[in-house]
């Protein structure tokens, strides 16, 4: 085993003996084909985080009693590595992901992970698997850091042991529609998260709770659901697994971060860009009645989702209790397009990065 040096503990590197063939990304489902290596690190109560290592991608061996399987003590992040025209590999605001992982960890009673391990682990893994960062337009290497509770215990308590892992996979578009506006069903029954719960964290449970409504919507020909709040089911929260924004009467309106909404890094970046472009932003409660009325009286000009996987996803149609409203003639709006072009331009190193969001890894 060869060692690379970090400011914390040395990361051990064990190279794969055989390298996998790189897949064609044409039509490959999101997140199904993984690179040659993964980063791992263990936590034991009394010892802390230890043994950072990059090893060949392989299955885990865990006790069937591991706490993650029973009580979902688990958190994750989503980020991407982009190939610039010069051939450099760039990350987008990775320190924000490290911070959010620790905010999720705090809520799920998972020990804090020193940010240096997050950053150095990413660099070591992506440095070794740099050939996996694709260079075809609109493709990237999706990165999935996660922490799972590994103690073999069925009592409902915080685990004493954890595993931090980073895996990566080359990806194209998240939605098959790409940048074509999607049809969205406003969900009136299921809720994704509630205030006081875990909605502001990236924990697997939030996504598990979202699958049924997403599946029902897909069966009716919609791409995703628009989530309403869990108390009176009137206030808009998110769309699918993304944050959501609306251009209403020339102002950008987005649900405020009140605890049940994920503080998205793409959300934050869009708001920074929009402010820089002189837009008035309203982070506030927005009711479904106000949204539908704005769609009907023409005040709703554009609507889009924001997230790491799809970046920007235009919304062309919303259905609420059987009544359909078309947004922006069902076409992508000028502001949605400008946000997509600017953000992806910065991410792929093609547009001026005035906020210094891009971080070169190798």
Interface segment toward ligand COI; rule CB under 6 A; list 85-93, 118-126, 160-168, 307-315: 307-315
Out of 73, 198, 269, 308, name the contact with ligand COI by CB under 6 A.
308
Q: Residue 326's beta-bridge partner residues?
A: 317
Q: How far is CA 13 from the centre of its chain?
A: 27
Interface segment toward ligand COI; rule CB under 6 A; list 33-41, 251-259, 302-310, 347-355: 302-310
Least Å distance, CB 244 to ligand COI, is: 12
Q: Which residue has tokens 């043994």?
A: 51
Select 210 or 342, whichever has its Cβ closest to ligand COI. Answer: 210
Distances (CA, A) of 359 to 12, 80, 90, 130, 242: 23, 11, 5, 15, 23
Angle at 83 between CA 77 and CA 87, to 5 degrees: 145
Select 31 or 127, whichever has its Cβ closest to ligand COI. Answer: 31
Q: Two tokens at 238?
A: 């998110």
Distances (CA, A) of 25 to 30, 37, 141, 180: 9, 19, 11, 19
- The residue of the chain with the least Cβ separation from ligand COI equals 307
Select 214 or 328, whichever has its Cβ closest to ligand COI. Answer: 214
Out of 182, 248, 291, 309, name the contact with ligand COI by CB under 6 A.
309
Could you tell me how many residues of this chain bind ligand COI (CB under 6 A)?
7
Q: Is residue 214 a contact residue for ligand COI (CB under 6 A)?
A: no
CA–CA dist 130, 137 (Å, integer)? 17
For 143, the 3-state DSSP assignment is strand
Interface segment toward ligand COI; rule CB under 6 A; list 42-50, 162-170, 282-290, 306-314: 306-314
Select 264 or 328, whichever has its Cβ closest to ligand COI. Answer: 264
Q: Which residue has tokens 């709006």?
A: 333
Least Å distance, CB 72 to ligand COI, is: 15
Footprint of ligand COI on 76-135 (CB under 6 A): 78
Q: Which residue has tokens 């698997």?
A: 129
Least Å distance, CB 32 to ligand COI, is: 12
DSSP β-ladder status, 11-13 and 48-56 = parallel
Interface segment toward ligand COI; rule CB under 6 A; list 63-71, 185-193, 301-309, 341-349: 301-309
Footprint of ligand COI on 215-274 (CB under 6 A): 241-242
Least Å distance, CB 227 to ligand COI, is: 13
CA–CA dist 57, 169 (Å, integer)? 11
First to last CA, the chain: 22
Angle at 322 between CA 233 and CA 173, to 5 degrees: 80
Binding site residues, ligand COI, CB under 6 A: 78, 241-242, 307-310
């Amino acid at each position: 085993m060869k060692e690379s040096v970090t400011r914390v503990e040395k990361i051990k590197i064990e190279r794969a003996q055989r390298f996998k063939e790189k897949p064609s990304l044409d039509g490959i489902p999101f997140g199904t084909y993984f690179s040659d290596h993964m980063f791992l690190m263990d936590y034991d109560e009394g010892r802390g985080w230890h043994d950072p290592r990059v090893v060949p991608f392989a299955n885990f061996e865990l006790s069937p009693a591991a706490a993650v399987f029973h009580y979902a003590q688990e958190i994750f992040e989503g980020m991407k590595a982009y190939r610039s025209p010069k051939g450099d590999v760039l990350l987008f605001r990775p320190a924000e992901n490290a911070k959010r992982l620790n905010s999720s960890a705090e809520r799920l009673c998972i020990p804090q992970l020193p940010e240096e391990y997050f950053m150095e682990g990413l660099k070591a893994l992506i440095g070794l698997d740099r050939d996996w960062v694709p260079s075809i337009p609109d493709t990237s290497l999706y990165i999935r850091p996660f922490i799972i509770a590994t103690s073999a215990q069925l009592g409902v308590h915080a685990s004493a042991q954890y595993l931090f892992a980073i895996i990566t996979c080359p990806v194209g578009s998240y939605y098959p529609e790409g940048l074509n506006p999607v049809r969205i069903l406003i969900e009136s029954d299921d809720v994704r998260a509630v205030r006081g719960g875990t909605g502001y964290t990236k924990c697997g449970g939030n996504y598990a709770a979202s699958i049924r409504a997403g599946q029902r919507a897909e069966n009716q020909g919609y791409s995703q659901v628009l989530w309403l709040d869990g108390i009176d089911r009137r206030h808009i929260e998110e769309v699918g697994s993304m944050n959501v924004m609306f251009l209403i009467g020339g102002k950008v309106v987005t649900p405020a971060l009140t605890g049940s909404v994920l503080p998205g890094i793409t959300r934050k970046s869009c708001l920074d860009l929009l402010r820089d472009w002189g837009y008035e932003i309203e982070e506030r409660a927005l009711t479904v009645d106000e949204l539908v009325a704005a769609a009907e009286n023409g005040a709703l000009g554009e609507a889009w989702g924001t997230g790491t996987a799809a970046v920007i996803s235009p919304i062309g149609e919303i259905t609420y209790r059987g009544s359909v409203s078309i947004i922006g003639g069902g076409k992508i709006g000028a502001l949605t397009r400008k946000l997509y072009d600017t953000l992806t331009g910065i991410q792929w190193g093609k547009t001026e990065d005035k906020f210094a969001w891009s971080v070169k890894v190798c």
